[in-house]
């Protein structure tokens, strides 16, 4: 099955009261450090996407493996045109779209916001993405939303924006941080920074001179801004189409590991949709330094250490199903995961039961 035939919305029609799978429509690369999910609400909830909603609140950079666990190190990018009422409720900043005309694939997102007349496209990498915004109206804007606690630092000379993100439901280490760098291919004309409540978040509105397209290179890290620069440098000579094709190829390699047939096409489709989800978790919590070596942040001892680390998996659900399958289909990745679990033991004193930072 082609990865372009996978609709990531399968299994996402959920609420806190009733579940059809409690999944999110993740776009990313297999085992990637971040996933990208369209938001349909600004409410403070783990159920922030509904496949039946026509609202579009932007693309959330997420690390939420389950609504029962909640999200952490998350922020949202949205776009707009024209004048924005800064005194209005957050609902007034939400756009609208036609779900049946949108693209929700493992390797790409494409959504046209009818209210603001902007098309948002996302092509993911292991540690970031390229966002492509196409504007059909004047006064283009990109808005960055950081829930609960955020910090913005603008570098005008480089046309870059640094984000420091600190949000999580519960944690033993208040120094746990997430770093992100956004590089724009158009000159930022002006910015406005605000703090809003209900829900509680910081936001920055970036305005640009009239243009029909803005590309944004995103790089992220749990270690430092210096590490985001390393990740960003690896995107410097790549286009949106380059990244989209690489992500598509990475997914296709995994889907091609199993070849099944059945007279009932629905069964085949469901199988490959489930196979796509198999290769989402656990996520990488390690990064690649300037020497192409794996490093990670040991949050038990507040140190950067060499080696692998993984996050976001409940072993009681996966120990008898997912990991035996990895031993057959993803041997190299499985070996790295085991090394990462061992690092979790060395740093915490325990083998992980529910793997999360």
pLDDT (tens place) for every residue of the chain, 357 residues total = 999 999 999 999 998 888 888 899 999 999 999 999 999 998 889 999 999 999 999 999 999 998 988 899 999 999 999 988 766 665 567 999 999 999 999 999 999 999 999 999 999 999 999 999 999 999 999 999 998 888 999 987 779 999 999 988 766 678 899 999 999 999 999 999 888 877 788 999 999 999 999 999 999 999 999 999 999 999 989 999 999 999 999 999 999 999 999 999 999 999 999 999 999 999 999 999 999 999 999 989 999 999 999 999 999 889 999 999 999 999 999 999 999 999 999 999 999 888 888
Residue pair 4/41 in contact (Cβ under 8 Å)? The answer is no
Q: In what order do the strands lie in the sheet with 150-155?
A: 103-105, 108-113, 118-124, 128-135, 213-221, 178-184, 160-165, 150-155
Helix pair 240-255, 265-278: axis angle to 10 deg = 110
Query: Looking at residue 89, what is its pLDDT?
Result: 60
- Give the Cα separation of 204 and 145 in Å (integer): 7
Query: Looking at residue 93, what is its pLDDT?
Result: 74
- Give the Cα separation of 34 and 150 in Å (integer): 18
Listed in sequence order, the residues at least 6 apart from 22 whose beta carbon sits closer than 8 Å to its beta carbon are 11, 14, 66, 67, 68
Listed in sequence order, the residues at least 6 apart from 63 whose beta carbon sits closer than 8 Å to its beta carbon are 34, 35, 71, 72, 73, 74, 283, 311, 312
- The domains located in the chain, with CATH, are 3-250 (2.70.98.10), 281-355 (no CATH)
Q: Which of 113, 118, 130 has the alpha carbon at shortest distance from 27?
A: 130
- Give the Cα separation of 118 and 95 in Å (integer): 9
Exposed, middle or buried by CB within 10 Å (0-12, 13-18, 19+), for 236? exposed
Q: What letter does residue 234 receive in the DSSP assignment?
A: T
Instruction: Determine the Cα angle at 7 with ends 239 and 90, to 5°.
Output: 75
- Give the Cα separation of 239 and 217 in Å (integer): 10
- Give the Cα separation of 312 and 277 in Å (integer): 13
Residue pair 305/348 in contact (Cβ under 8 Å)? The answer is no
Contacts 24+ apart (CB under 8 A), 270-275: 270/10, 272/1, 272/5, 272/6, 273/6, 273/7, 273/10, 273/11
Residue pair 200/188 in contact (Cβ under 8 Å)? The answer is no
And the tokens for 298? 């040991």
Task: Spell out the SS3 assignment of 85-129.
Answer: CCCCCHHHHCEECCHHHCEEECCEEEEEECCCCEEEEEEECCCEE
Query: Looking at residue 36, what is its pLDDT?
Result: 98
Residue pair 191/182 in contact (Cβ under 8 Å)? The answer is no
Residue found under tokens 């990745």: 333
């Amino acid at each position: 099955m082609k990865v372009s035939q996978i609709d990531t919305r399968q299994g996402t029609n959920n609420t806190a009261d009733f579940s059809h799978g409690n999944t999110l429509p993740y776009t990313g690369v297999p085992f990637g450090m971040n996933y990208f999910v369209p938001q349909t609400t600004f409410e403070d909830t783990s159920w922030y996407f509904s496949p039946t909603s026509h609202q579009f609140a932007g693309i959330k950079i997420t690390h939420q493996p389950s609504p029962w666990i909640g999200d952490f190190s998350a922020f949202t990018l949205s776009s707009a045109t024209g004048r924005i009422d800064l005194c209005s409720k957050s609902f007034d900043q939400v756009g609208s779209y036609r779900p049946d005309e949108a693209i929700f694939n493992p390797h790409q997102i494409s959504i046209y916001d009818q209210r603001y007349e902007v098309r948002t496209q996302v092509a993911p990498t292991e540690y970031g993405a390229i966002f492509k915004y196409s504007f059909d109206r004047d006064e283009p804007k990109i808005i960055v939303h950081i829930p609960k606690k955020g910090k913005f630092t603008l570098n005008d000379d480089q046309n870059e924006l640094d984000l420091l993100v600190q949000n999580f439901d519960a944690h033993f280490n208040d120094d746990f941080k997430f770093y992100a760098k956004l590089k724009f291919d158009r000159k930022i004309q002006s910015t406005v920074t605000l703090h809003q409540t209900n829900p509680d978040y910081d936001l920055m509105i970036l305005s640009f001179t009239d243009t029909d397209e803005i590309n944004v290179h995103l790089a992220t890290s749990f270690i430092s801004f210096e590490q985001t620069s390393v990740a960003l440098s690896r995107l410097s000579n790549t286009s949106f189409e380059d990244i989209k094709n690489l992500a598509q190829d990475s997914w296709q390699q995994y889907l091609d590991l199993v070849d099944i047939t059945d007279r009932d096409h629905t069964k085949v489709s469901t199988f490959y949709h489930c196979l796509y989800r198999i290769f989402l978790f656990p996520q990488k919590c390690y990064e690649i330094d300037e020497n192409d070596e794996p490093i990670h942040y040991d949050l038990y001892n507040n140190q950067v250490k060499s080696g692998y680390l993984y996050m976001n998996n409940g072993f009681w659900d996966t120990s008898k199903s997912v990991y035996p399958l990895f031993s057959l289909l993803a041997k190299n990745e499985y070996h790295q995961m085991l090394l990462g679990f061992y690092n979790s033991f060395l740093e915490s004193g325990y083998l992980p039961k529910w793997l999360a930072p």
